[in-house]
């Protein structure tokens, strides 16, 4: 018979737990190391999502590549090395990929810089020819482009996609090496139909589509639509995105030209969660200088029971919309800091959108709102989505955001939801919410973890 367990902890264990509690209380959250009473110190690359830290901790939790052996632990600094380290998207062998420095996705296997002209070469595509072929004054506005130039555009786009889309397999941790300026520029991490992935401490920038498609049927005046999110989840489960930074820089939307009277948009999402992805935690990231930031659910008809996402302790500055836009799922949004002051031409349309019967709980967030922005603009919806809101601050004052929106809208947000968040480790309230602009300023984004 096993000995009866003692209820006394060793001095070392008690000290470890005290330190862990102090780290959480200070708002540092998932930091440089994980202090565990039984296992000691865990390095950054083997860290796993803490218990009850959002939806991604549900079930078996999110451990990424922590079980990787030495043969599946890589340090990479170039696009070619990253592709080799990722291997096959169908290989479920645990792997840890350490990114050292900034990887430029628009390079060939030898490291030579590639441009949009390189991708277009040999396809017959030319923007001037495309614009002439599909000018609404002659082509019309009733159908999508088709024919020689559209086929050429698609061929050029396929060449770019083959180069800049990195397919992430299951059981993988991709972590930036501290102090190295780790990140990916011009590329997209595609986490599709796989389980158990961690993405941490990376700066994502300049994810750009060389070949946007013209859609004259999109809206009243048509739109240019681009592909490539910096990180995209499609049918993915158990994903933890932590301490990353996302930005359009250096090419901001204000530099985009207009064709057919519409912005030639080369950016898509920053971090999108679609195609019935599920059990995702997005925390302590910085999103700046971007339009369509985070899409949860790509269609109003996605089936219920998925798209369960927690978004907490993130910073949003210079974000136009989708922070996030939620469809269908159960989404917990808490302890985020939204600065909706216009920045570099990025002026807010809304922060949080709940539509297609989404069940959103938004609590204890902080909005910095200039006098030029109405509080009613912070939320949005289609009349079917819900936002249960509490404890949210606008310029330091508790504000009923749903009431403000509903008073100014013809499509009211519903105020009750069909679930109660329980995976809420690290949820802050009271004076800590007032301090979010300061605390997150030093604890969110890439480069914080050491």
Quick one: 252 exposed, middle or buried, by C-beta within 10 A (0-12, 13-18, 19+)?
Answer: middle
- Give dist(CA 447, CA 201) in Å, integer: 6
Catalytic residue among 79, 153, 200, 322, which?
Answer: 322
- The one-character DSSP state at 79 is H
| 137 vs 31: which has the higher pLDDT | 137
When pLDDT is cut at 50, 70 and 90, the band that residue 42 belongs to is low
Tokens of 243: 């301490």
> In the predicted model, is pLDDT for residue 266 greater than 90?
yes
Residues 65 and 76 sit within 8 Å (Cβ to Cβ): no
Tokens of 144: 């999508």
8: annotated active-site residue: no
pLDDT digits (tens, 9 = 90+) for 278-308: 999 999 999 999 999 999 999 999 999 999 9
- Phi, psi dihedral angles at 69 (to 5 degrees): -90, 180
Report, in angstroms and rounded to the nearest whole number, the Rg of the chain calculated over CA atoms.
Answer: 23
pLDDT at 291: 98
- Give dist(CA 348, CA 291) in Å, integer: 9
pLDDT digits (tens, 9 = 90+) for 412-429: 999 999 999 999 999 999
Residues in the chain: 450
pLDDT at 29: 36
State the distance between the two ends of the chain, measured CA to CA, in whole angstroms.
Answer: 45
- Give dist(CA 80, CA 352) in Å, integer: 38
- Give dist(CA 357, CA 383) in Å, integer: 8
pLDDT digits (tens, 9 = 90+) for 206-252: 999 999 999 999 999 999 999 999 999 999 999 999 999 999 999 99
Average pLDDT, the chain: 92
pLDDT at 41: 60
Tokens of 183: 């990140």
Q: Which one, of 165, 163, 183, lies nearest residue 174 by Cα? A: 183
When pLDDT is cut at 50, 70 and 90, the band that residue 37 belongs to is very low
pLDDT digits (tens, 9 = 90+) for 63-102: 999 999 999 999 999 999 999 999 999 999 999 999 999 9
When pLDDT is cut at 50, 70 and 90, the band that residue 25 belongs to is very low
Quick one: 92 exposed, middle or buried, by C-beta within 10 A (0-12, 13-18, 19+)?
Answer: middle
């Amino acid at each position: 018979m096993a000995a009866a367990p003692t209820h006394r902890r060793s001095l070392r264990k008690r000290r470890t737990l005290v330190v862990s509690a102090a780290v959480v209380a200070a708002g540092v959250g998932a930091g440089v190391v994980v202090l565990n009473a039984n296992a000691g110190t865990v390095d950054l690359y083997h860290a796993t999502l803490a218990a009850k830290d959002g939806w991604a901790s549900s079930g078996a939790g999110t451990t990424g590549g922590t079980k990787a052996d030495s043969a599946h632990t890589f340090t990479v600094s170039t696009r070619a090395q990253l592709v080799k380290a990722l291997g096959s998207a169908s290989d479920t062998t645990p792997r840890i990929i350490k990114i050292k420095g900034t990887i430029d996705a628009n390079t060939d296997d030898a490291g030579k810089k590639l441009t949009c002209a390189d991708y277009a070469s040999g396809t017959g595509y030319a923007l001037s020819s495309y614009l002439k072929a599909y000018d609404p004054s002659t082509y019309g506005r009733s159908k999508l482009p088709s024919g020689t130039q559209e086929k050429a555009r698609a061929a050029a786009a396929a060449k770019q996609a083959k180069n800049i889309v990195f397919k992430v397999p299951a059981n993988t941790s991709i972590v930036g090496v501290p102090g190295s300026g780790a990140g990916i520029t011009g590329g997209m991490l595609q986490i599709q139909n796989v389980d158990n992935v961690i993405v941490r401490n990376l700066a994502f920038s300049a994810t750009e589509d060389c070949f946007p498609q013209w859609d004259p049927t999109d809206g009243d005046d048509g739109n240019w639509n681009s592909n490539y999110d910096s990180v995209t989840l499609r049918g993915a489960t158990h994903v933890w995105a932590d301490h990353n930074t996302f930005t359009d820089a250096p090419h901001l939307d204000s530099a985009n030209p207009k064709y057919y009277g519409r912005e030639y948009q080369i950016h898509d999402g920053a971090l999108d969660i679609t195609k019935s992805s599920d059990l995702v935690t997005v925390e302590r990231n910085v999103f700046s200088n971007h339009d369509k930031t985070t899409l949860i659910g790509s269609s109003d008809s996605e089936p219920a029971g998925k798209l369960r996402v927690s978004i907490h302790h993130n910073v949003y500055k210079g974000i136009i919309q989708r922070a996030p836009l939620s469809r269908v799922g159960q989404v917990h949004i808490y302890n985020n800091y939204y600065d909706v002051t216009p920045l570099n031409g990025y002026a807010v349309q809304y922060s949080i959108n709940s539509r297609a019967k989404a069940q959103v709980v938004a609590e204890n967030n902080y909005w910095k709102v200039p006098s030029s922005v109405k509080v009613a603009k912070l939320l949005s919806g289609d009349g079917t989505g819900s936002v249960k809101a509490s404890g949210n601050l606008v310029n330091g004052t508790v504000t009923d955001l749903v009431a403000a929106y509903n008073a100014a809208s013809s499509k009211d947000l519903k105020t009750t939801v069909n679930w109660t968040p329980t995976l809420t480790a690290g949820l802050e309230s009271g004076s800590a919410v007032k301090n979010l602009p300061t605390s997150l300023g030093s604890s969110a984004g890439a480069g914080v973890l050491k």
